[in-house]
A and B are shown apart, each in its own frame.
Chain A
Amino acid sequence: MGNKKNRPYSYGGEILRINLSNGRVSGEPTLKYAREWMGASGIAIKILYDELRSWVTPYEPANKLIFGAGALLGTPAPGACKMNVSTLGPMTGGWATSCSDSYFGGQLKYAGYDSIICEGRSHAPVYIWIQDDKIEVREASHLWGKTTWETLDILREELKDPNLHAVSIGPAGENLVRGACIIQDKGRAFGRCGTGAVMGSKNLKAIVARGSKSIPVADPSRFMATTLRVRKMFEKANLREKFHQYGTLFVLPRKQEVCGINYKNFQECCLPDEMLQAVDPRKTLDKYKVGNQSAPGCVIGCGRHLQITEGPYAGLKTECNQWEAFGTLQTRLAIWEPTFMLKANAYCNQLGIDVDAAGGAIGWAMECYQRGILKETDTDGLKLNWGDADVSLEMIRKICYREGFGDILAEGCARAADLIGRDSGYYALHIKGQDLYEPCRGSNGWLLGTTTSTRGGTHTTGALVIETAPNLNAEKAKQVYGVEGLDKPLEYEGKAKMVTYMEAVSRIANCLGICLYSTTCLDVDQTDLPQMAELYSAATGWETSVDDLKRLAMKQLNLEKAFNLRFTKFDRKDDMPTARDLAEAIPSGNLKGWKIDPEKYKEMLDEYYDLHGWDRQTSYPKRKTLMDLGLGSVAEDLAKLGKLR
């Protein structure tokens, strides 16, 4: 099959635009955006910035929801398994973006598409069915109200293909729960930011795709040789086997050591010893694992299938959760039943709510109940005691159906605290309105990346994930990050530079569809910017250097920043740690007594702004920064808003 003139190598070729208000389907060539914005989240921020006027709000038809497959998804480039979804999001009111490994995304590419822009709002529930050139918007009233698992099963039955892949929302998205997410198949989530609520606001239940076309690459032998060489690199990665065996749950002992565990809504930073033994997730996985689960083309394979055979959730068959679900639900809510993390994660996936949105709101509520700020008259008679698994699951259900007190918690902990008042805001830990999962004390590079993220509190866009990794290869880390200190989480020096590097890695990984956890984000011996440049060059025939990638990443980051400046009032004050993290020392454990030094944090933040060419006082971009990145018109836009320096 020859390559069409305007279809770039490695890409599906076309960006679909589906207007749900009038059913119109149109397309434009991906080439219009690919060279300048690369793919996935890069293309999405460009389109959203250009097309969403300043008066648009997240739930109205004028908002757009953009699914974008990574530029290398559908090829065996190591870790190239991801798709992105981006929109104007309800959690922060600004830039909302999320990735997930996605067999659906691969099928989209094989069908000939790179992105789908969902516009408008359907009058009645619909789903979209894509088969190569055939695109149908179909009735979905029989799916509305169903969980994501039921939805996938029904669609596989209806469309007569047991291997179909889909993205869908559950009742949480349908009910516009602010932290609702989109689920890929059954076990993978486009988490954070509330993209599921935007999908629900459009009455869009699911999208299913199947493609039979092929993806050619520009230089096949160079591409395959590079792929095999990069795959071989992973044999040296010292965390790979543990990661394969337990997913990110392998970090438990280290997180306990470095006080990086959220216990009782960040009141403590590590677990009581007896609890640690009781809930150790590695034991749970060893006991109940029945099979492996990998992402497309992945050289690590960090997932698994489990079947619980005893305890309160006996009979549950589910894919495994990662550390985040364990930290944000199991330990945050102080629950001792070790299989709770599996049940809660499965439940959140079925109902389509982000685990952090669930954990953040329930954790705030439980602490408020502990302190007498909330009473049973507020909580529909429920006793919100720490460690109560049944109450926790019931609260997840009430949130997803916006029932009673759940209707308040469905707004996320920041807004729930505003609604309740009673000085409860201190216990609502969020950054820019997004509930935090991230324990932020004792790890300064992780802290800085979390507070400054353009999508709200989050650790996947710049935070130094491996700052507290065991057996860190400090020599190699210095080569990768260009500065020392990755193995010194309590220091402030050099963190701004390292976070800036990780911002580039995460954005390029998003555009290419490479899983962040297969990069130097998790392990310094994994895929880094040079390998990404090589893979992309060989795949597309467009010679791309590491400097090109860094420049592109900063261009995207500045556009995300400008997007936030248009839609929100975020400035320097929103790049700060939470009040609790600033006020309270780590209360127990190895780092007992350690506290964030506010002056040193401010210096670290100043350095971060300097590196980005942003104003220290406000965080607004400087004109020269935008001009140098080819974003002159963006500078004019910000000047009109009074937000250019």
Chain B
Amino acid sequence: MPSFDMPLCGGCRTCEMACSFHHKEEFNPAISSIRILNQEGEIPFRVWLVREGEEQGIAGVSCDGCKDLEEPLCLQFCRKKDELKKILDEFKNSSCG
């Protein structure tokens, strides 16, 4: 499941803009590999990371871990980067099987 609760996330979605910029040098959340989704319940937001193609109605470019950068672009723009980093690491490890 590419979906993670992120208790400290405020839903600013700057990561979505940063990610689309990483892929296409333009701002377009619709193609971003990271998506912030609203959810009911105590934690207002969850992080969705695109593995491949379209899943559960969410399409976007697959997350490549920003291999060509020192630090993933989404992390550079996240105010709660420690929490997001854990999520990215977990995603990366789960993708490797």
Residues of chain A at the chain B interface (Cβ within 8 Å): 1, 74-76, 103, 110, 162-163, 211-217, 220, 224, 228, 231, 290-299, 301, 303-305, 307
Contact = CB atoms under 8 A, between A and B. Distances in A.
A294 B17 CA distance: 15
Nearest to A162: B38
Contacts of B10: 291-294, 298, 301, 303-304
B7 A291 contact: yes
Contacts of A298: 10, 12, 14
Given A296-B13, A303-B10, 6 more contacts: A75-B27, A162-B37, A213-B30, A215-B27, A217-B26, A292-B10
B26 A301 contact: no
14 contacts: A76-B17, A76-B77, A110-B30, A162-B38, A215-B28, A224-B21, A228-B76, A291-B10, A291-B43, A296-B14, A297-B17, A299-B79, A301-B12, A305-B44
Contacts of B31: 214
B28 A110 contact: yes
B84 interface: no
Nearest to B59: A212
List 8 tightest A-B contacts by C-beta distance, closest first.
Answer: A294-B10, A214-B28, A292-B10, A294-B12, A214-B26, A212-B30, A291-B44, A301-B10
B44 A292 contact: yes
A220 B25 contact: yes
A94 to B, nearest CB: 35
B12 A290 contact: no
A296 B13 CA distance: 6
Best-surrounded residue of B7, B11, B27, B30 (most CB of chain A within 10 A): B27
Contacts of A76: 14, 17-18, 21, 27, 77
B24 interface: yes
A1 B14 CA distance: 21
B45 A291 contact: yes
Contacts of A214: 20, 24, 26-28, 30-31
Contacts of B77: 76, 231
B68 interface: no
Nearest to A103: B13
A211 B29 CA distance: 9
A211 B30 contact: yes
Nearest to A165: B38
Interface string B42-78: 1111000000000000000000000000000000110
Contacts of B43: 290-291
A298 B80 CA distance: 12
A231 B14 CA distance: 12
A484 B12 CA distance: 36
Nearest to B28: A214
Contacts of A291: 7, 9-10, 42-45
B22 to A, nearest CB: 10
Contacts of B38: 162-163
B43 to A, nearest CB: 6
Contacts of B42: 290-291, 307
A593 to B, nearest CB: 44
A217 B28 CA distance: 12
Nearest to A216: B26
B23 to A, nearest CB: 10
A584 B43 CA distance: 48
Contacts of B14: 76, 296-298
A293 B11 contact: yes
A29 to B, nearest CB: 19
Nearest to B44: A291
B81 to A, nearest CB: 12
A618 B28 CA distance: 50
Given A75-B27, A228-B76, A296 B12 contact: yes
